[in-house]
Structure 1
Amino acid sequence: MSSEKIVRYALDGATYYGLVSEDATIARLAGSPFDGLARSGERDLLSRARLLAPVEHPRIFGLGYNYKAHSNEVGKPVPDLPVLFMKPSTAVIGPDESIVYPSDGEIVHFEGELCVVIGKVARHVTEARALDYVLGYTCGNDVSDRVLQRRESAFGCLFAGKGYDTFAPLGPAIVTGLDPSNVPIVTRVNGKVRQNGNSADLLFPVPYLVAYLSRYLTLLPGDVIMTGTPAGVGPIHIGDTVEIDIAPIGVLRNSVVAEASTHGRSD
């Protein structure tokens, strides 16, 4: 199956989609990749482009405990159905943008993940056909405030602790034609490997997840499914650099910075 590397990028005050070539140029697309991969005929230097999150304002579906080893490390039972949550589109940042450490944060963790980007409307699709509805795959980091997450989980919900602004880095590209059943996922913090997993160990693999979600709701082009994180999650701190490295896709790199100001709260 042929493969393309799709990027969304900013150049000279405008935003484009394009296909990265081996000569480090980008073949600009005529429109959105969700409408096809027709080229405009223009080319841009990759070195001049600023890569953005590969999808603008996506709906993000997250998976908890989708690797047995991760369930074991956090003391959770292995689920018998997908454990789903959502992250808001305002949590999304792109490559080399900063993860903002909340002023009231206590324990914030990285979670490197393989992410699925839906390519066309999907409703009641079968596992056998599920990958026909996938545009491609990207890297993701399901950044999580563990203290708030645990407080929420005690009451059966999971949202704010994973939904802070900047808590969903995505990128650097969407790669098509990838076999999602055997993808290496490596996470580094300050250059040190912290996670070294493979999508082959997913409890609920990509075709199952697409079919499962489409049973209950309509999946839309640009939706992102974060498939879950392997074992090895751990804390990040202000000044750290986190890298999610998925060899066929690239490296998603983000640094951690302090929140600039504390916003007022009403209790």
Structure 2
Amino acid sequence: MKVAIAGAGGRMGRTLLKLVTETEGAAICGGLEAPGSETVGSDLGSLAGLEPMDIAATDDPSEAFRDADVVIDFTLAEATSHNALHAADAGAAFVVGTTGLNAEQQARIDRAAQKVAVIQAGNMSLGVNLLVQTVKQVSAALGIDWDVEIVEMHHRWKVDAPSGTALMLGRAAAEGRGQDHDAVAVSGRDGITGERTKGEIGYAALRGGNVVGEHSVTFATDNERIVLSHLANDRALFAAGAVRAALWVGGKPPGIYDMTDVLGLK
């Protein structure tokens, strides 16, 4: 499986370069960086702390994706949405690790999925995707009388809130009890908010330090609480999930898939 990495010079990009190189059945064939980045022209092997690959990072998506079977992208929402279209033009499947896309950016992803297979998930972690399924089941069992609150913490550099993972968990809770998530979600309470409305799904986002990712879902009623949590200790776990997705997606027909497809959880 020939893999191209978008954002090859970033923290996640370098992790992906190393992991793909170490994965049997996969090989790096290209790397994309933003125009003006100091890593443009750098050898991809050197960026990952490996032996040189004789493949240079480029700011031209057509060149970076030309030989790819699949592209993995953990960049920024605007860049990801355009990279998806370039990958589709190249006939390469696309793995989306970026979160926080707006409606216009998501529409580009959807257009790409008309031509190639796209795997899109708020989180690529096996543990998180198992947690999402558990939250859905617990929410269905407990019903609307239990309050649901979601707390997430990430490093100081994260640009979107709540995190894509937190939203995955909230949507799973809403689906479990038959709610329209967007109608009951409450984010960032401040000031005199009044009494909590029955059926709300609340979010709180914390930012600081170099925290990779922490998520907890609390189900609370008058006399007890259930807390389900996931702690990420190393961003390599997200890279590992993305590489697993890249290996899985080969030969799949066009459309949007997620990690529950990859992991056989559906």
For this structure pair, what is the TM-score category when the shorter chain's length is used for normalisation?
Answer: under 0.3
Normalized per residue, which structure has more helix?
2
Q: TM-score, normalised by structure 2?
A: 0.25
Higher RCO (CA-CA < 8 Å; seq separation 6+):
1
Which has the larger Rg?
A: 2
